[in-house]
Structure 1
């Protein structure tokens, strides 16, 4: 018995010694300017992390495996980008353009396009390892194309509608956070409002979100917003207006009217927020310049039109007329961002490309460039068409969050929109520090707690004890977005450290290769 007591006593002594040597925390970020994400004023202090979560804030006394003196830099929650097209994140897991501007969580499946099998998508994310946290919508265009098999300018049959509803339900059970539409793209452009209401009702029991790239962001924007609000009301869900903007000069100057319409809806009980990228140019496929009817029937239909002189001539006339209805004289506002068929055209606008290819920049030749690009596989474009005053007006609104509308960038390839490298940095550099459009604390709130609460990401978006340790450390005096339209391939500057779930993913401004990201799933069970 004495021997047993001696052994037990020795073991206890060793355990106490081990505890005395063990660090209190995994990581301490010391001497920072803490901006907690709520909008409250910053305070000077430390943030300590343990087991992937925030363990203590304020003045932290104790030992840690690592202590980083951030020397007065801002310690903020990691930014949440609620509108990305990084659906290939499991193939490009570093997502470096996002992490290096402080983004620790991304939402994919936007504008109606998503992975069709959400369960498989999350399995790939979880097993292959990714750097940021990832959530996804189920996309309307994705499920409609699968159900309706090529001919889209019609109402879906009862069987097709049942198929689409089943796809949405399966996606929600697998963890999708909601249902997204892209109503300027095929096949969603041909859908009617009642179809969208019925499909959105599928997500209601899951407390899902309806996110929409609306039918118009220019001349018919108020009708488009009304449709968004009708869907939210009838399905009894929260709505997200994707990348709010007023595109095309005839629409400029109406931001106050747009905001008033949304505020009136909020006052009546509709739950609706909006996101925004902080540039006056948009980006999508060059195909968007071609009328939808040219593709009703798939790519074969489009190619058949090009091979029919009469049909092609009618299409060309429509496109020449279209540019004039936008209040423009040519397609100079459209820049070729990424065309694999002829990389020498990347960075040129359509007028310049017409001059290069055909020796004339006539409107007829500009249309020919657009059709030839699509014939040879298509290309991404950057489209200049918004007003700075409207952008700032939307930015000031309390329900606006910032989102890049970007995919994962292949560094050095093409001439893509700079928002994929600089969106969050641009907010902090241009609109907080230089122009003082919004305060630092409110900018951080719009990138952290506002999206976290709106999208249901629990224990994220705010620096608080017990929350997950997603953190962006940045120098508010040095943060910048060197990416430009002409030279977009520059990472954001001024973010020395970024932490995801307690692990350092960016150290001294460089990606560490760590992959601590997790799947951010919706409820998955009908409530």
Structure 2
């Protein structure tokens, strides 16, 4: 039998669309770490070779790391401008899984119509179902609006926050959430911390639903607190119980900010559960400061200092970037503008060695994913910015994690502190996220890898210069060091310059077979 033409063809004989030459290729799944040439055809990686490759376009990657694009499981900023800034931070896939959206199909249709610079997706929003059920005045044409802005703007309504769901009301919430799963939601977003009225029977219904569709839940736990009887530790035990009793994959969002200074004991709880085979995973971002609406239950000024062990000056209004000074100021802000995006400094890791060690425990949790929890940018009027103009205008506000989370991680944990290797960094920024999703989203097996047949979502960055530039006063500054960012085989960033015409992002969406 004659050998097929495909077998006769050597990698060195093919003319590839793009060839990345002489870069340090790192693939965390196969433990590859060496100087190779990478050939791309269309949207896929077609060759990895120590021998020279021919290409229609050849890009010299000498002295650079060539690795999979980063995957963010917790990205609320689902718009073109934010995605472009994220790409300079190394993101090639941004998914809104904690909050999620409803209707799910409407979200995907909108993104496809507008185009997206990077890959996108979202979970089914349990919170959205709760809002329109208990606070129908917030619905638009009888439905939720599939955006994080709509969710945040619902904090001036208290019914959905505090009400207990039972009987027909509970069934309505479950039905709406299930419809989002049928439309391809990547699991169920459960921002339980923003709806303390939701009880365990309601959550049990959600977990059974997730198990039915073999998708994870992504939960912001209920109590942002270190004080019993309603502490975060209590909620973590409840999450473990839900995972164990239903078998549903249970993902705990932003381990750093929900654990606060109880990170050591909470981390051990999760590790013990995992060792017992309970399907539970987690994530963290690379800052000791979180972000949320001042009107949220978690910011209740009556006990927020005790619960979080913070001072009033640890709260910062994003719109003005001014710190609060008194309880009275917080009370006033909650009354006048409950949607006011507020930064909360629960750790001071840059100035305190103990705080830095606490952050390490969450950011470097074994098998955990680095995420941003980034919101869209805010104008001086306090409105979310959605224009696709580039560069973004001056004066926009945000948490710096929306622009610099990943490059900060590479700079601080790998290059400067040497806490982990570049290989391990690729796990935390990319492979771990793909592993968390791929049982329910098989296409994720083609991401987070530099392997033949994998999607060509590729970064080429300088390990000596990669760094965040954003800070709390300048939150939209672009990270530096990402020389080339390739999404599905297309250059979005080339020689550190954005192609504003490039919108190569594709949907990440569940294919449900319940």
Report the 3-state secondary structure (helix = DSSP H, G, I; strand = E; otherwise coil) of the residue aligned with 1:55.
strand
What CA RMSD, in Å, does the superposition of the two structures yield over aligned residues?
2.2
Distance 1:453 1:511 in 2: 29
Cα deviation, residue 109, structure 1: 4.1
Judge conservation of contact 1:25–1:49 (CA < 8 Å) in 2. Answer: yes
Deviations 1:375-408 (A, max 9, x none): 2463111111122211112233322210010034
- Residue 207 (structure 1) aligned to one of 202, 214, 217: 214
Q: In structure 2, which of residues 324, 329, 340 is the aligned counterpart of residue 366 of structure 1?
A: 329
Q: Secondary structure at the match of 2:28?
A: coil
Per the TM alignment, residue 114 of structure 1 is displaced from its structure 2 partner at its CA by 3.0
Secondary structure (helix, strand or coil) at the match of 1:431 reads helix
1-side partners of 2:264 and 2:331: how far apart? Answer: 39
Separation in structure 1 between the aligned mates of residue 16 and residue 277 of structure 2, nearest angstrom: 44
1:289 deviates by 6.5
1:487 aligns with 2:448: no
Distance 2:123 2:357 in 1: 31
CA contact 2:295–2:337 (8 Å) conserved in 1: no
- Residue number in structure 1 paired with 2:27: 36
SS of the residue aligned with 2:482? Answer: coil
Are the equivalent residues in 2 in contact too, given 1:425–1:479 (CA < 8 A)? Answer: yes
Is contact 2:370-2:406 (8 Å) kept?
Answer: yes
Displacement of 1:324 after TM fit?
4.7
CA offsets, 1:55-87, max 9 Å, x none? 000225443221100122000001001111124
Larger CA deviation: 44-53 vs 148-157: 148-157
Choose from 105, 116, 138 the match for 1:130.
116
Which of residues 499, 502, 514 in structure 1 aligns to 2:489? Answer: 502
Do structure 1's residue 471 and structure 2's residue 466 form an aligned pair? no
1:257 is matched with 265
State the partner residue of 1:335.
316
The SS at the match of 1:202 is helix
The alpha-carbon deviation at position 347 of structure 1 amounts to 1.3
User: Distance in 2 between the 1:404 and 1:376 partners?
Assistant: 25
Query: What's the counterpart of residue 10 of structure 1?
Result: none
Contact map agreement 2:467 2:479 (CA 8 A) in 1: yes
For 2:509, the equivalent position in structure 1 comes to: 521
Indicate which of 405, 411, 430 corresponds to 2:412: 430
- Taking structure 2 as the reference length, the TM-score comes to 0.82
- Counterpart in the other structure of 2:342: 381
**TM-score by structure 1 length?**
0.80
Aligned to 1:274: 282
The aligned residue for residue 352 of structure 2 is none
Q: Give the Cα–Cα distance (whole angstroms) in 1 for the partners of residues 400 and 55 of structure 2.
A: 38
Q: Point out where structure 2 has 5 or more consecutive residues left out of the alignment.
A: 1-12, 137-158, 348-354, 378-384, 386-391, 439-443
Cα distance in 1 for partners of 2:185, 2:257 equals 29
3-state SS, counterpart of residue 492 of structure 2: strand
Q: Which whole-Å CA distance do the structure 2 matches of 1:495 and 1:290 have between them?
A: 36
Find the residue that maps to 2:255 and give its secondary structure: coil
Query: Structure 2: how far apart are the matches of 1:466 and 1:450?
Result: 19
Moved more, 498-507 or 254-263: 254-263
Aligned residue number for residue 221 of structure 1:
232
2:295–2:338 CA contact under 8 A, matched in 1: no
2:421 aligned residue: 439
Counterparts of 1:60 and 1:207 in 2: how far apart (Å)? 43
CA distance in 2: counterparts of 1:259 and 1:291, whole angstroms: 24
2:397 aligned with 1:415: yes
Relative to structure 1, is the Cα distance of residues 491 and 226 closer, same or farther in structure 2, using a 3 angstrom cutoff?
same
> How far has the Cα of 1:284 moved from its partner?
1.0
8 Å CA contact 2:119, 2:505 repeated in 1: yes
Of 308, 324, 345, which residue of structure 2 is paired with 1:350? 324
**In 2 relative to 1, CA 241–321 (structure 1 residues): closer, same or farther, beyond 3 Å?**
closer
